[in-house]
A = this chain, B = another copy of it.
Amino acid sequence: MSEITFTVLEESLGRIVLVKLKGGKTLRGLLEGYDKHLNLVLSKTEDVTDGNEGVKLGNVIIRGDNVILISPVGG
């Protein structure tokens, strides 16, 4: 991954990110970690698909190949 991609992820550690997944789900949580495949570890994760209130999922590991995009919130 290019340095800028890493830079954005690195700056987002410990902050809230929106993650849109293939299949239509959108998750929101604190970014705890990531790797070059865009595997992600989030904490305090909520499923906010379609503007849902937020079904609590807690800690999750997301397999990177499901990720469409990652967006730091309020960043």
Nearest-CB residue, chain B, relative to A70 = B61
Query: Quick one: which of B35, B37, B41, B45 contacts A8, CB cutoff 8 A?
Result: B41
Q: Which bucket holds chain A's interface residue count?
A: 35 or more
Nearest-CB residue, chain B, relative to A24 = B23
List residues of A whose CB falls within 8 A of some B CB: 1-5, 8-9, 21-23, 25, 27, 32-35, 37-39, 41, 45, 57-73, 75
A5 touches B41 (CB 8 A): yes
Nearest-CB residue, chain B, relative to A3 = B33
- Please provide the 7 A-B residue pairs with the shortest distance between their CB atoms, ordered closest to farther: A4-B33, A2-B35, A61-B70, A60-B71, A60-B69, A62-B69, A63-B67
